[in-house]
Structures are given as C-alpha cells and as structure tokens.
Structure 1
C-alpha cells in the first residue's frame, strides 16, 4: 500500500513538472492601435487626458480619465 502511494506521488510530481515545461503564456498583440481622448464634459471642448493602446500591447495614459470620450483606431497591419 505504501509503495503504491509512493509511485502515485512520483507520477503526479513528474506530470506536474512536465506540465510546467509546456505551460507557455502567450499574449497576442492587438490588431489595432486605439486612441481614447478624454474631455472635461459632454461638450468635448476641453481635452483633459488621453490613453493610447499601442500595437505592442502597451498602454500609455496621461492626464485625467473621464466618461466623456472620443475613440479612434488604426490598423497595426499596414
């Protein structure tokens, strides 16, 4: 009985280690660059911030984020 538990534990450990070698985290780059412009109010007359999601997947944000937005996008594949 003890031997079968030891064998089972060894097999489970080997499977866990093996799974670690094949577990690859892949994050695909977005297909579009997205620029969001933030405004102070619904008139969209005063820009207070922006956010750009680059083709690399990196996001750059500056200024204030509000609910008053304009969004534009451009393909990453030109």
Structure 2
C-alpha cells in the first residue's frame, strides 16, 4: 500500500469514528426543546447534519494537528 492510500484510509476511519462518537453524544442532547418533532424525518435529518458538521470539524482538527506535528521536524532539521 502506498503512503497516499494509507493516509486516505486513516482519514476515512477517523471521520467515520468521530461521526459515530458524535452521533452517540448527540443522543444525550434534548432536541425536543428546539425542534417541534425531533422524531420526524426532518428532525432526524437535522440531527444527522449536526453530527456530520461536528464530527468533520473535530476530525479535521486532529488530522491537522497530526500533520502539523510531523512538520515540526523541519523546524530543527533540514534534510
């Protein structure tokens, strides 16, 4: 497997794992306070979109953090 394929696989797995974690955490949130019918199709779709938005932001943060930490070696060593 080439490095680009490995990186793509890691990104996909990170995005999916953070989506599952976010979905699980959002189940504890009371959407009935803000949404008229949270069990309806529109309510469920809104919850899924919230989960996607939050999980993408969190996983992108961790991916960027990891990438930037790898670039720190160029601060001290020029190879």
- Decide which structure has greater strand share: 1
Same fold, TM exceeding 0.5? no
State TM-score, norm by structure 1.
0.35
Give the greater-gyration-radius structure (CA): 1
Higher helix share: 2
